[in-house]
Structure 1
Amino acid sequence: MELRREYSYYLIQLYIPCMMLVVVSWVSFWLDKDAVPARVSLGVTTLLTMTTQASGINSKLPPVSYIKAVDVWIGVCLAFIFGALLEYAVVNYYGRKEFLRKEKKKKTRIDDCVCPSDRPPLRLDLSAYRSVKRLPIISRISEILAANTDISRRVDLMSRLGFPTLFISFLIFYYQTYVKQSRD
């Protein structure tokens, strides 16, 4: 008699749906920070769906007193989805602060000036016209991280890169560890 685990069942029932839920939770990074209902409902829906997925899988497995690889997988996927929801909380907090600061600046500008001007100040130096050859990705990253960019926008842009990078790193680590343990 030989006991063998069916990996295809767990792949189709657990791993692929959980990966899809994590990736769907990242869609909120591309939504406008002012789209509160869309971002909140996306985050809460993916979190609840992941919780339902986890309870369904755990009910089919026998209870044991130690942590299984599936528990680690579900826990990390839940953490990534919850992290995406928390990311929006941070974006919303800083977005509100930036909005209030801009409103305050508008009020003080109108009160202080007779004729407020919307034109940018005139530059007298030629540094803007000198061409420095840089890769487009490097100039884009430095533009994103510039001090004059809104913090809420920077958090969204950094999350677009950071969350997938961390998740791919986890996938590599998880599968290397999982395959190594299954061979032993």
Structure 2
Amino acid sequence: MSTIITGVSASMPQVSYIKAVDVYLWISFLFVFLSVIEYAAVNYLTTVEERKQLKRRGKAGMYNIDAVQAMAFDGCYHLTTFSVNSTENSTRDRAPSIANLDTTRIKRKRSLRGNVGRIILQNNHVIDTYSRVIFPAVYIVFNFFYWGLYI
């Protein structure tokens, strides 16, 4: 996009005001940039959530060598190759402690902002799904206004 913007600016006559083609190319550049930012944010949030889940499960069980190799290979944590000690989990599930009840009460008292952040962290695919609809829709609306205004 930056090469296209530079090439178009070099081939057009130099004027002191913003040309219509500049507006179109810079808005298009903005959409490309925002899509890259969205991809990076979803990738980062997914990695953070996978690490948290791995830490939670890591306290309950032992690492499988396949999981360690998968993490080292592509930099992401894959929970499918993770083994968990079932006897520790079953004893925890049967006898909930008072400390666990206190933490659930504390979690209920959190603000809406904290809940929204937690929901976003746990549902990264929601951001991706909305972006697949919102980005093209807004770009189409921009094109209708742009071409309606400048033609």
Q: TM-score, normalised by structure 1?
A: 0.50
Residues 29-40 of structure 1: pairs in structure 2 closer than 5 A: none
- Residue 125 of structure 2 corresponds to residue 153 of structure 1: yes
Question: For each residue in 1:136-162, what CA deviation from the matched residue of structure 2 results, as whole angstroms up to 9, or x when unmatched?
Answer: xxxxxxxxxxx5983321111111101
Q: Which residue of 1 aligns with 2:10?
A: 59
Which position in structure 1 is the counterpart of 2:87?
Answer: 114
Percent identity over the alignment is 34
Shift of 1:105: 1.7
Within 2, Cα distance between the matches of 1:148 and 1:71? Answer: 35
Q: Is the 8 A contact 1:54 1:74 kept in 2?
A: yes
Q: Secondary structure at the match of 2:146?
A: helix
Does residue 98 of the first structure (1) align with residue 70 of the second (2)? no
Question: 2-side partners of 1:88 and 1:148: how far apart?
Answer: 14
Please report the RMSD computed on the Cα atoms of aligned residues, expressed in angstroms. 2.3
Paired residues of 2:60 and 2:89 also in contact (CA < 8 A): yes
SS of alignment partner, residue 65 of structure 1:
coil
**Structure 2 residue aligned with 1:163:** 135
Task: Note closer, same or farther for the CA distance 1:74–1:108 as it changes in structure 2 (3 Å cut).
Answer: same
1:52-108 per-residue CA deviation (whole Å, 9 max, x = no partner) reads: 111111111001010110010010000000001111121122112111111012123
C-alpha separation in 1, matches of 2:88 and 2:56: 15
What is the count of residue pairs matched by the alignment? Answer: 101
In structure 2, the residue matched to 1:176 is 148
Partner-residue secondary structure (3-state), 2:87: coil
Unaligned runs of 5+ residues in structure 2 are 63-84, 91-118
What is the one-letter code of the residue matched to 1:114? T
Return closer, same or farther for 1:171/1:148 CA change in 2, 3 Å cut-off: closer
Contact 1:90 1:152 in 2 (8 A): no
The whole-number CA distance in structure 1 between the counterparts of 2:46 and 2:39 is 10
More helix by share: 2
Distance 1:94 1:148, change over 3 A: closer
User: How many angstroms apart in 1 are the aligned matches of 2:120 and 2:146?
Assistant: 39
**Greater mean alpha carbon deviation, residues 83-92 or residues 70-79:** 83-92
Output one character per residue of 1:32-57: Cα deviation in whole Å (capped at 9) or x when no partner. Answer: xxxxxxxxxxxxxxxxxx11111111
Aligned 8 A contact 1:91 1:156 in 2:
yes
**Distance in 1 (alpha carbons) for counterparts of 2:124 and 2:2:** 28
Equivalent residue in structure 2 for 1:82, among 27, 33, 42: 33
